Amino acid sequence: MGMKRILLVAPLQLRFELTQDHALMALPFSKVKSFLTPLHLATIAAATPDEYQVDIWDESVQGPVEERANWPDYHATGVTGFTAHLPRAKAIAQFFRKRGTLVAAGGPGISSVLHWYLNDFDVVFIGEAELTWPKFLAELKVGRPQKTYRQLGPVSLAQSPSPRWESIAGQMERYLLGGVQTSRGCPFDCEFCDVSALFGQRFRHKPVDNVLQEVAALEKVGVQRILFCDDNFYGNPSYAKDLLRELIPLNNSFRYPLAFATEATINLASDEEFLELAADCNFREFLVGIESPRKESLKETKKISNLRGDIVSDVRKIQSYGISVRGSLIVGFDNDDKDIFEEQFQFIKESALTVPSIRVLMAPEGTRLWDRLRKEGRLVRTKTEGRSYGNPGTTNIIPKQMTRGELHGGYLNLCDRVYDWENFAVRLRDFLVNTRRAPKVPRQKKYWDRWLQIGVLLFTDVDKRTRRIILSIVRLTLTRAPFMMPRVAAIILRQYGYTHRPKLREAIQRQIALEQSGEITLEAETGDVSLSEGFKKEYGRIFEELYRKVYEGLTEKAQVEDVLIEVFSGYLKDCKPGWIPRAGDYRSGLLEFARVMVAEKNRGAKLEGVWTPWGDEVISKIRKAGVADRILRAVEQEMRIAEARRESVVAS
């Protein structure tokens, strides 16, 4: 008998035709089919015991699973995805379940909105899965897999195995970027972002040697550009610099040094040592969440990293090292009125953000923004999207100082002006003139394929005016900063992608028209439960006492957090009607619940029976680790799942 096989699938990107990447990938000579190598799946493959053979299937590159005729028999299939991928993940699950294969789902999507997909997968993974995936396989082997595996605390990144790329090593040229992750977590907590809910505010990083090994492994299979897939590459400055110091000699030892990009917060601009190291490491781009030039909007959304200092001069500083800033900007905050569009336009010009990524504010489920707007009655279920996916297109919020039509229309108009070729050229020239320091990189790869594509565009796809603009940019680059040629090629192509998004425009215009004509009525998003403020307050008061009781009583200390989730959610589910406890009942009710639960877990042992010292040390440890917060989030998720089950019972 051969080895047991496991299949890991990355679903097709939903509504890919709306994105700028779509136009780029359709260009002649483009081998690229996907933005990033499937780092999640390669990590799960690496966490799989050697007794299994693991195959990776990335639909963006290899095609929809239905199109392949002869699938071998798999022991289990795993599907990944952002929230936006889940409808497709569900279809993939149906396909393999029909064939009798067990299907598991994991990733940030299912971790945030599991309650929408309760019966669509056989097994689900909430959170990071380096430890839970092998546990599941061991339990599957003896025929007793659980339905849900939840990783509560953060996984130490020293324990995260180096991704295994073997199964797709032959496909690398079809990816724009190879993925390596150096850290998880972000010390900030912006209102619209669920990074801290998913990965925690405590910043964790991988040992430098592991990162170097992962970079070298990708170079070996032909990858030329790497994206560090961190929430905030500059989350721990001294670690980031230690890493770069070691990465420079490794990179320079390659035949062609690799090019790097990453996501990071703007405060890195004040660290010249970091900037120099990054430039000499051949960093070409930082993706920076700038969000808004308006201080009140930044304050509103708790974008603290952007409140100090002057963003325009920070961006300029980064650019002076030849590193481009891919600014991400948002319109539609509560503090944004109709003047915001002009203000953003002027800001983009002043800071010479060559091809910024501009979006209308979205409230993805799992974020504090979602909670707030839902309570304020300002969340809608958009008919075109079904649910709030965070995908390009229309938003799920009702803005405060504009109508939805004004917000969507203002956004389209802003995009027209920003991605106008002449306006783009002004900014790109400005960036080139502002570049002062050439990186110390021994050899730069030329990327003739990109120039070939630009050549084709010049003669087939752009008008005379645009052709003149592109040629003048090339001339300026050659005279002012020739080392910038590969970067400029990438920037021109990206600009082209942004000017070729007709489907996105259509989708937004259609939505505006439907809403204005009254053909669709917007439904308020009311569904999913969130815990009452009253409960949250009591929770804060009682948490430590309850933690202590459970910790002291439980024989198996490793189960404390799981048991606490069961205690809180079990207690709430018992409170009828509507899961709202009567004031004054919390403490006694919860303690009683805990007593019974602990006794059950200890299989009969009494709560008072086992005594473990409880000192300040334990208290400060759980406070520092944010244990109360993560348990509260898990309790909330449990309640949403229970509510979804209740609804489906009522419906059937």
Task: Give, in degrees to the nearest 5, the angle at Cα 83 between 134 and 66.
Answer: 75
> What is the footprint of ligand B12 within residues 253-272 (CB under 6 A)?
263
Q: With CB under 6 A as the contact rule, which of the stretches 51-59, 166-174, 189-197, 268-276 interacts with ligand B12? A: 189-197
The binder of 229, among ligand B12, ligand SF4, none, by C-beta within 5 to 8 A per type, is ligand B12
Give the span between the Cα atoms of 629 and 617, in whole angstroms: 19
Give the residue, chosen from 116, 175, 199, 579, that forms a contact with ligand B12 under the rule CB under 6 A: 199
Amino acid at position 112, single letter:
S
Rank residues 396 and 477 by Cβ distance to ligand B12 and give the closer one.
Answer: 396
| Binding of ligand B12 by 59 (CB under 6 A) | no
Strand partners, 125: 149
- Helix 311-319 × helix 340-350 angle, to 10°: 30
The binder of 265, among ligand B12, ligand SF4, none, by C-beta within 5 to 8 A per type, is ligand SF4
Show the site string, 128-167: x = touches ligand B12 by CB under 6 A, - = not: xxx--x----------------------------------
Rank residues 289 and 356 by Cβ distance to ligand SF4 and give the closer one.
Answer: 289
Rank residues 180 and 644 by Cβ distance to ligand SF4 and give the closer one.
Answer: 180
Size of the site for ligand B12 (CB under 6 A): 39
Residue 224 CB partners (closer than 8 Å, separation 6+): 256, 258, 259, 445
Nearest approach, Cβ of residue 176 and ligand B12 (Å): 9
> What tokens were used for 77?
């299939």
Give the residue, chosen from 6, 54, 193, 311, that forms a contact with ligand B12 under the rule CB under 6 A: 193
Nearest approach, Cβ of residue 306 and ligand SF4 (Å): 9
| Binding of ligand B12 by 370 (CB under 6 A) | no
Nearest approach, Cβ of residue 35 and ligand SF4 (Å): 18
> What is the footprint of ligand B12 within residues 216-235 (CB under 6 A)?
229, 231
| Binding of ligand B12 by 83 (CB under 6 A) | yes
Number of C-beta neighbours around residue 102 at 10 A: 17
Percentages helix, strand, coil for the chain (3-state, rounded to 5) are 50, 10, 35
- DSSP conformational letter for 397: B
Rank residues 21 and 538 by Cβ distance to ligand B12 and give the closer one.
Answer: 21
| Binding of ligand B12 by 125 (CB under 6 A) | yes
Cβ atoms of residues 6 and 73 within 8 Å? no
> What is the footprint of ligand SF4 within residues 287-326 (CB under 6 A)?
289, 305
Measured from each CB, the residue nearest to ligand B12 is: 106
- 212 closest CA partner among 251, 176, 254, 260: 251
Rank residues 380 and 470 by Cβ distance to ligand B12 and give the closer one.
Answer: 380
Number of C-beta neighbours around residue 622 at 10 A: 19
SS3 letters across 305-357: HHCCCCHHHHHHHHHCCCCEEEEEEEECCCCCCCCHHHHHHHHHHHCCCCCCE
Cβ atoms of residues 393 and 385 within 8 Å? yes
Rank residues 369 and 508 by Cβ distance to ligand SF4 and give the closer one.
Answer: 369
Strand partners, 329: 291, 358
User: Applying CB under 6 A, which residues contact ligand B12?
Assistant: 13, 35-36, 39-40, 43-44, 78-80, 82-84, 104, 106-109, 112, 125, 128-130, 133, 179, 181, 184, 193-195, 198-199, 229, 231, 263, 287, 364, 366, 390
